[in-house]
Amino acid sequence: MNKNILYSAITGILTAGTLIAASAKAAEALVVCKEQERCYGVSKASKNDCSTSSSVCAGTAKQDYQKDAWVYLPKGSCEKLAGGSLAAPGAAKKK
């Protein structure tokens, strides 16, 4: 019976370690996203990060530099690229 308690304790410690590592990884991903921005109109065909006007999946852009396909780029670099835009096509302009 003492072995069962020991095995349960070890399993609990390993599970807690795994959850802590997963939480740290998720927090790191959020920081990376905050340092990046969506850049429209610069991705190659099927290299977009997510959604277009006709699809909700990554990697579905049908042509190079499709205006409604976006990729994440480091902040400040999108508008330096030819054709790069921070706004989705058809989005209302900010005044």
Check whether residue 74 and residue 46 sit in a common domain: yes
Q: Is residue 46 part of a domain?
A: yes
Check whether residue 11 and residue 45 sit in a common domain: no
Q: What is the pLDDT of residue 87?
A: 87
- The span from the CA of 51 to the CA of 59, in Å, is 8
Check whether residue 54 and residue 21 sit in a common domain: no
Which residue in this structure is represented by tokens 């999108």? Answer: 78
- The span from the CA of 51 to the CA of 57, in Å, is 5
Q: Which residues pair with 40 in a beta bridge?
A: 70, 85
Check whether residue 42 and residue 27 sit in a common domain: no
Q: What is the pLDDT of residue 46?
A: 84
Q: Is residue 94 part of a domain?
A: no
Contacts of 76 (CB under 8 A, 6+ apart): none
Q: What is the pLDDT of residue 74?
A: 94
9, 23, 31, 35, 83 from 78: Cα distances, Å = 51, 30, 19, 13, 9
Check whether residue 30 and residue 44 sit in a common domain: no
Count: domains in the chain: 2
Per-residue pLDDT of the chain in tens (95 residues, 90 and over written 9): 577 777 776 776 767 666 676 665 555 554 555 689 999 989 888 888 887 777 777 878 888 888 888 899 999 999 899 888 988 887 655 55
Identity of the amino acid at 13: I
